[in-house]
Amino acid sequence: MTFVADLEPTALWAHFDQILTIPRGSKEEDQIRAYVVSVAERNGLAHVIDGIGNVVVKKPGTPGKEEAPTIILQSHLDMVNEKNSDVDHDFATDPIRPVMDGEYLKADGTTLGSDNGIGVAAMLAIMEANDLTHGPLEFLFTIDEETGLTGAGGLDPSMLEGRTLLNLDTEEEGSVTVGCAGGADTELRLGLDTIPSPENCSTFNVRLSGLKGGHSGIDIHLQRGNAVQLLARMIHSISHGTPGFLADFQGGNKHNAIPREASATVVIPDDQSGDFLLTMGEQFEIVEAEYKSSEPGIELTIEEGPRPEDVWTTFSAWDVLHLLVALPHGVVAMSKDIDGLVETSTNLAAVRSDGDALTVLMSSRSSVASSLNWIRQKIRAIAGQAEALVEEHDGYPGWEPNLDSRILQVVKTVHSRVTGKDPHVEAVHAGLECGIIGEMVPGMDMISFGPQIEFPHSPDERVKVDSVGRFFDLLTAVLEESAS
């Protein structure tokens, strides 16, 4: 146990403290699922697991509330495993190391997993509670949300009896989410021709790091730098004047995280290496000045390394640089109907080279289906210019707002009473499982809310501790009001 278990409300934080010790990356939810089942069993609650690994736990209503409408509480079990490159941490075996940072709880150099671990902990606390008033409850724990909402996509809807759902994955205190964007990924594969590494050359490992990254839905409008595209831009800018070769390009990690770091291996003739270092420094100064407000921690590191066995041909290197510079990244369009809402965006999420091929992952979002199709068409067209192979993965639907929702009216009333403030009702650009569940179970009445979680999907992730208590009070009050 850590100090986290002693935070208030202890019923919630004690579970989150335990969750910090359990590996739960996307597609690796076996141990956290077993923990959920163990809590259900020791409290005598029935549970069922569908064929894909989602869990539903059922809890009867409290005395006198057995006939109230069933409420579904829903959170996802998985987290985004991201860490700083200088941090020694194995997400498969090592517990998350929590630290306090003023009013916030964060992790030591890694993601914290408060997205959506706080929601999971809240549900576990309510499963165990014997001092709350509520109608029949169903606790839906989904898997693999962070890599495309595939757990919700494979959900067996027959496990659910309720038709009112509280999703606990909103990350802005005081907001109630009633709609979200849909999204889809595109994978590009560019073949690379190689030649033996030339003699009389110096090898440089170039690394761009220190960027903030963040959630590609929630943070995309902040105009943070994309390490992959910035490094490609810098090398592209000097390639006309400095002869040389590329041998490797890597960057980014998860489809829903803006790349914070990128690296390349560059082979330069010995008599040109000084010019290369000087010009890269000049290009970095340009980027540093351009992003001085949004990326104050950006760093360029260049170190000499061993000569690779092979390098890419000039034509292949140009194909790589042209592709990475040309691909779209960031906000594509703002909503014409809701002020301040990003309508369409795309994230140049990850790049990997493996000798004879370069793989690029793009993740696109939009609240307008035709716009999502258009941005994917644009990616396809750019890839075609480089003669890259294109694989378009199945996407997930958006969630259309229903401002006449009954549960929305309940939450608005309770929010005003409990907090003294009216909630901010909004749609978000991030993807939520509500869109898929609503399409799968027609007539499902849904809203989403949660505590204050900032910078998810990056090692800067943090949760405002006192907001968790207010979130839990709101949640339990909503359950009581819904049973009346």
CATH number of the domain to which 349 belongs? 3.30.70.360
* Interatomic CA distance for residues 261 and 373, integer angstroms: 29
Read off the pLDDT of residues 248-306 as tens digits, 9 standing for 90 and up. 999 998 888 999 999 999 999 999 999 999 999 999 999 999 999 999 999 999 999 99
Q: Of the candidates 357, 392, 427, which is a domain's last residue?
A: 392
Same domain for 373 and 466, yes or no, is no
* Domain extent at residue 71: 3-181+398-482
For residues 173 and 188, state if they share a domain.
no
CA Rg value for the chain: 24
Does pLDDT of 241 surpass 70? no
Q: What is the DSSP letter of 320?
A: H
SS3 category, 331: strand
Instruction: Tell whether 134 and 197 lie within a shared domain.
Output: no
Write out the H or E segment, with its range, that includes residue 470.
helix 465-482
Please provide the distance, in angstroms rounded to a whole number, between the alpha carbons at the two ends of the chain: 38
- Are 316 and 425 part of one and the same domain? no
CB of 417 within 8 A of CB of 75?
no
Could you tell me the two tokens for 301?
């590191």
Where do we find the tokens 């027959």? Answer: 158
Asked if 316 and 385 sit in the same domain, the reply is yes
Residues 457 and 358 both lie in one domain: no
CA 276 to chain centre: 36
Clarify whether residues 243 and 319 are in a common domain.
yes
Can you give the pLDDT at residue 194?
A: 96
> Which of 350, 369, 392 is a domain's end point?
392
| Residues annotated as catalytic (active site), given as ranges | 78, 145
Alpha carbon 149 to chain centroid distance? 11
Are residues 170 and 36 located together in one domain of the fold?
A: yes
- Buried b or exposed e, range 76-90, using 16+ CB within 10 angstroms: bbbbbbbbbeeeebe
Q: Which of 392, 423, 443 is where one domain is finished?
A: 392
**151 and 250 both lie in a single domain:** no
- A 10 A CB-CB count for 394 gives 9
Tell me if 308 sits within 8 A of 248, measured CB to CB.
yes
pTM: 0.79
* 144 in the same domain as 18: yes
- Using a pLDDT cut of 70, give the percent of the chain over it: 99
Are 10 and 113 within one domain? yes
CA distance 136 to 67: 8
- Residue 43's domain is classified under what CATH number? 3.40.630.10
- pLDDT 10s digits, 61-105: 999 999 999 999 999 999 999 998 889 999 999 999 999 999 999
Contact, 174 vs 425, CB < 8 A? no
Query: Which pLDDT score, from 0 to 100, does residue 254 have?
Result: 86
Q: d(Cα 358, Cα 353) in Å, to the nearest integer?
A: 4
Number of domains in the chain: 2
Q: Domain check: are 460 and 478 in the same one? A: yes
Answer yes or no: is pLDDT of 243 > 80.
Answer: no
- DSSP 8-state class, residue 22: S
- CA separation for the pair 407, 425 (Å, rounded): 13
pLDDT for res 336: 84
